[in-house]
Amino acid sequence: MEGRSCKICLEKVELWNEQCQGCGYHLVLEPDEKLQARYLRAPSLGALFWTQGWTFGARLYLWFLLSLIPVFGLIALFVCVFFGRRWSWKYGGWADWEEFTERMKVMDALGLIWILGLLIGYGWLRFSGGL
């Protein structure tokens, strides 16, 4: 999926945009495309909870490396929460939409398990007198 072209000015338009960046023409999206656009614009919970694991699973390897550096890790967290899905879809080299959304689902679940694990681990140490 490489995106579409605007019917008016023939400029290439990214999949998740509903408006042409070239002329502002409002593109009519098919229901499927609309769903995809909404999905790609949604924030990614996996990236919020577990940036390193998420960027790796999302095949954003450059962001994975950046996220290992303390200050950049925080930047990576924010940009990947908001733009991660779009970048992953664009640069991840996914075979199809299903493969991509399956992976996103798994990574979001892993992020949730990760953060719950941290909280439980912290709570256990804190209240069992370990700390």
Residues that bind Zn ion (CB under 5 A): 6, 8-9, 11, 20, 22-23, 25
Of the pair 7, 126, the CB lying nearest Zn ion is at: 7
Of the pair 20, 81, the CB lying nearest Zn ion is at: 20
The token pair at 92 is 């991840």
CB of 33 to Zn ion, least distance (A): 16
Annotate the chain with DSSP letters as a single string. ---EE-TTT--EE-TT-SB-TTT--BPPPPHHHHHHHHHHHS--HHHHH-HHHHHHHTT-HHHHHHHTSHHHHHHHHHHHHHHHHHHHHHHS--SSHHHHHHHHHHHHHHHHHHHHHHHHHHHHHHHTT--
Of the pair 9, 42, the CB lying nearest Zn ion is at: 9
The token pair at 10 is 């023939």
CB of 27 to Zn ion, least distance (A): 8
CB of 30 to Zn ion, least distance (A): 18
CB of 1 to Zn ion, least distance (A): 19
Of the pair 24, 117, the CB lying nearest Zn ion is at: 24
